[in-house]
Amino acid sequence: MKATLMYGAGDVRVENVPDPTIVRPTDAIVRTVRACVCGSDLHPYHSMAHTDHPKPMGHELLGVVEEVGAAVTSLRPGDLVIAPFAWQDNTCVFCQEGVQTSCLHGGFYGTPEVGGLQAEFARIPQADGSLVVVPDVDETSDLLPSLLTLSDVYLTGYHAAHMGRVSAGKTVTVIGDGAVGLSAVLAARQLGAERIILMGRHTARTDLGVEWGATDVVAERGEEGIARVMDLTGGEGSHIVLEAVGHMPAYEQAYGIVRPGGVISRVGVPQYEKAPIGFGSLFGKNATLTGGPAPVRAYMEPAIQQVLNGEIDPGRVFDRAVGIDEVAGAYAAMDKREALKVMLTF
């Protein structure tokens, strides 16, 4: 089968690798219908050291079950399924508490043992807990892009809003106009935010953010961006800040604009190990810092129903679709900001 491999920064290749097989009785083999490139895939694209042992890429997938292991009970060949970006049993103590990304028997894709999901076929560990069946939808549906976003990007934005405790009457600021930031805008509107300030500089993206509920757009960054948000909020700051970038300047903006007693919710994968938490950042404001890898499995069924009912259309974050042979160009286009998010079709 064809699969996407990264050999180092900027070096993405599509190669033929062995088809996956059932390794454990809890596995399933899925034929990929749609996959995509994630903004977090660009982190190794920028910085990964060259290696002769490439990293399998991809963690977002919509596909059809081809084969199941002997212990799998909830799936059968032919089911259209969504694979969350982490695999989990969905039964351990942490899964039951809604933190499936910390599953005692789970893990993440992109290892030599499990492989990546930017490939024609995938082995899904803990299939009963990891795969969610989409009812009454086939491979030709116009809903496929929106369903694909539930594997990661939309529900990561939703997780940011959920952990930030977005509710009616609140002012929310979203930092970042990438696919996750825009998804956070949509989720914040779904949760009833009264005012949503989107911090982003790319008009095509912020225009979609406005369609999805952003009431204000702030193009400035750094101290100028902080000053602008403070001006918009009458000097009070934002009740909730959703940080969807992961770089230190974004975190600094977040604690610069959060209102005393407010919440910063981070879902941008941090590209730093140390961050200010002292009097001048969090402590002095009695601010809460929350967020982390989104347990999208916890939110999956209600979100699927919202897509099927036409209540949300998060698939609009995809502004380009290519076949797997063109995946290197997809990475390059997203890196150059020529594309917001690229979907892979199979």
pLDDT tens figures, 222-244: 999 999 999 999 999 999 999 99
Q: What pLDDT was estimated at residue 275?
A: 92
Share of the chain above pLDDT 90, in %: 100
Q: What pLDDT was estimated at residue 53?
A: 96
Structure-token pair, residue 139: 């491979």
Structure-token pair, residue 248: 């230190």
pLDDT band at 333 (very low <50, low <70, confident <90, very high): very high
Neighbours of 137 (CB within 10 A): 17
Query: Does 3.90.180.10 match the CATH number of domain 2-152+295-345?
Result: yes
Model pLDDT for residues 265-307, shown as the tens digit of each residue: 999 999 999 999 999 999 999 999 999 999 999 999 999 999 9
CA distance 64 to 151: 14
CA distance 346 to 332: 20
Query: Does 3.20.190.10 match the CATH number of domain 155-291?
Result: no
Q: Estimate to the nearest angstrom the gap between the alpha carbon of 113 and the chain centroid.
A: 23
Q: What pLDDT was estimated at residue 97?
A: 98
CA atoms within 13 A on the CB side of 215: 14
Q: Are strands 80-83 and 86-87 parallel, antiparallel or unpaired?
A: unpaired
Angle between helices 203-211 and 179-190 (to 10 degrees): 20
Calculate mean pLDDT across residues 77-105.
98
Model pLDDT for residues 144-196, shown as the tens digit of each residue: 999 999 999 999 999 999 999 999 999 999 999 999 999 999 999 999 999 99
Residue intervals in the chain for CATH 3.90.180.10: 2-152+295-345
Q: What pLDDT was estimated at residue 59?
A: 98
